[in-house]
Amino acid sequence: MTEAVEQQNRLLKISILRYNPQDPNSQPHMQTFEIEEAYGMTLFIALNEIREKMDSSLQFDFVCRAGICGS
């Protein structure tokens, strides 16, 4: 008899340094987001999920020449 094991995804807390150098009133600060980990999730995927679902003002650069970004 095989029992299906329900696996809960981990809750990830991702802290991001926020700062706008073009705004003289901007002060560097950390902002924390919580997202549920998905199978095969990379840092790039997590950042995109934060930008798409939680904070559209999030901007970041990425370069993935090797095809393994965020791993």
Residue 66 sits in a domain whose CATH number is: 3.10.20.30
| pLDDT tens-digit series, residues 7-64 | 678 999 999 999 999 999 999 999 999 999 999 898 889 999 999 999 999 988 877 6
Range of the domain at 64: 8-71
pTM of the model: 0.73
Is position 3 within any domain?
no
What local confidence, expressed as pLDDT, does residue 12 receive? Answer: 96
How confident is residue 65, by pLDDT bands cut at 50, 70 and 90? low
Helices (H) and strands (E) in the chain, counts: 1, 2
Report how many domains make up the chain: 1
> Residue 57: inside a domain, yes or no?
yes
Q: Write down the pLDDT at residue 42.
A: 87
**DSSP string covering 31-47, please?**
EEEEEE--TT--HHHHH
